[in-house]
Amino acid sequence: DTLWNCGATPMYPLDRMKHFLKTIAGAIGRSVQAKLNALSIWDNTLSEVATHIREGWKVCDKWNELTHDLTKVQWAGSDNVWKDEGYKDKFLANTAARIREVNALRSQHDQVLRLLPDEERKYLQVDMCFDPLKRVHAFSYNDYTVPMWQEAVA
């Protein structure tokens, strides 16, 4: 906020601020991805990883919420008016969506485990259902990893 409204002449350029916000969002996203990929998400129980997963997507969503509020609401009435739609980083939004997808998979698996008796678990080989997902970094989102993730989930 201080950088955007610093009062310098000429005003801080919009394209430069977008790049700055994108750079910070990228660093946040990569940090969240690294922390979550370090967990044994498919081997640990849901209770061991659920909080980390939830906090990961909350960090991504919070950054996008803050930048959107700054650019759409607060900077719309400042001396240096933001002359574009509110900024939300697509990479962070997609990373948060992937994290929520992993959480949904883990939650559904946990519910199935609670409902099935031991005999049926063994027969259906429920313990092996995450084997294809263990071959990909579940929380790494980029254009290259999307097809591999979709194949593993299918």
pLDDT tens sequence across 80-120: 888 889 999 999 999 999 999 999 999 998 998 888 888 88
Residues making up the chain, counted from first to last: 154
Residue 113 CB partners (closer than 8 Å, separation 6+): 121, 126
9: confidence class by pLDDT, cuts 50, 70, 90:
low
- pLDDT for residue 36 is more than 70: yes
- pLDDT for residue 20 is more than 90: yes
Lowest mean pLDDT, pick from 52-61, 71-80, 135-144: 71-80
* Model pTM score: 0.86
CB-based contact 70:1 (threshold 8 Å): yes
